[in-house]
Amino acid sequence: MGVFVPLGIFVGAIHLDPVLVFILNFLAIMTLAPILGFVTKRLSASVGYVLGELIHAMFGNAVEMTIYVAALRVGQVDIIQWSIMGSIISYILLVLGCCLSVSGMLQLEQTLNFTASSTMLSLMAVALASLILPVTLYTILQRSVADTKDAILGLSRGVAIVLLILFCVYQYFQHKSPANFFDVEQPGDEYLHDSTEELSLKRFKAIVALLLIMLLIVVCADNLVGSIDSVLESTHIAQGFMSFVVLPILGSAAGPFEAVCAAYNNKLNRGIDVVIRSVMQLTLFVMPLVVLLGWVIDQPMQLEFGFLETLCFFLGVFVVSLLVQDRKINYLGGFICVAIYSMIALTIYFYPDDRHAWPRDPN
């Protein structure tokens, strides 16, 4: 698998067929993503909980952030918005559904951690509000206010700051909670018996490996984003489907595997914790951070994701809330989540690339 990394960089450097560039760099990032996740986890475990969570938030989503920044630099805001929403919905429906299905096949009915599930639903409701408000303002203002774009951008940037503050509060709350409050595995236990010299050496190796992998991912992501338009034109795949279904596979390659493996090993709450952390990092950290980065480099990245994307997120949150409200879950609930995700993906496939086709002018 490692051969895809040099091949992807090479074909991108000499500007070969865009489809070949896209495929090879896609496979290269797929190869690097699990390695990055492993190195990030090792480094996070060696520095303590607070700093470890910060490292995990920054580098645990490094693949997504790299792709988003590469797209942001060339003004591909639509791709970023579709991809962020695709990643979030794939976690709360597809990944969670797979966890419930696998766990339910092994044990007919299981009980969820009440605190973790209720906290997840509360924070997802906040994230949903952050998307509903901009799309509502856009719908109200687009026919009456000339500077609708400026109003949406201003609202998006303000909401982004609020979400980042909420993310910090959430991390502090989780840190101050008892170890079994969220049923999470506290990092750092594997290094308790290491000497200071051994710990420093492991940190240094992890940092060097992290920087090297990040450099390779940056190059591959730049090649991949640069070839997307040509790939869409030659394959006739809708931009929304490419960004919503295909690109999220790159950023979330390691997380879903970890969650499903935990569920298979009869640790459903641990698998759900992976889903919760991933969704929270995407909605409360990555999404607002990209909005603020767009502000810095003067790109109009906003939280007005469009009616369909917001509706899909609402459906995901609504379905999950119904499934976990009594804390008793089984494999049927998992298959329901996967079915809803499949229907959403099909809808996106037939959705036109004009993201603001709704609401249409009746005249």
- As a whole number, the mean pLDDT across the chain is 78
DSSP string, 172-205: HHHHHS-TTTTT-PPTTGGGTT--HHHHHHHHHH
pLDDT in tens, 248-266: 877 666 667 777 777 777 7
pLDDT value of position 181: 54
CB of 155 within 8 A of CB of 137? yes
Mean pLDDT, rounded, for 235-257: 77
Helix (H, G, I), strand (E, B) or coil at 329: strand
Residue 358 has pLDDT above 60, yes or no: no
Q: What is the DSSP letter of 14?
A: T
Mean pLDDT, rounded, for 181-198: 52
- Segments making up each domain of the chain, as ranges: 4-349
DSSP string, 81-126: HHHHHHHHHIIIIIIHHHHHHHHHHHSS-EE--HHHHHHHHHHHHH
Residue 195 has pLDDT above 70, yes or no: no
How far is residue 117's CA from residue 110's CA, in Å, rounded to a whole number?
A: 13
Rounded to an integer, what is the distance from CA 326 to the centroid of its chain? 27
CATH of domain 4-349: 1.20.1420.30
Buried b (16+ CB within 10 A) or exposed e, 27-47: bbbbbbbebbbebbbbbbbbb
Helix (H, G, I), strand (E, B) or coil at 328: strand
How far is residue 328's CA from residue 333's CA, in Å, rounded to a whole number?
A: 10
Pick from 10-19, 54-63, 162-171, 315-324: least confident: 54-63
Using pLDDT thresholds of 50, 70 and 90, give the confidence band for residue 293: very high
From its phi and psi, is residue 316 left (phi > 0), alpha (psi between -120 and 50) or beta?
Answer: alpha
pLDDT value of position 162: 92
Residue 280's Cβ-count burial label (10 Å; 0-12, 13-18, 19+) is: buried
pLDDT in tens, 28-77: 888 887 787 778 777 777 666 666 666 766 676 777 888 888 888 888 88
How far is residue 292's CA from residue 94's CA, in Å, rounded to a whole number?
A: 29
- Which structure tokens are listed for 247? 């690109």
Q: What predicted TM-score, i.e. pTM, was given to this entire model? A: 0.81
- Residue % of the chain over a pLDDT of 70: 79
Residue 161 has pLDDT above 90, yes or no: yes
**Helix/strand/coil percentages in the chain, nearest 5:** 75, 0, 20
pLDDT value of position 158: 92
pLDDT in tens, 4-28: 888 888 888 888 888 888 888 888 8
Nearest alpha carbon to residue 210 among 66, 71, 83, 48:
66
- Which structure tokens are listed for 193? 């018996």
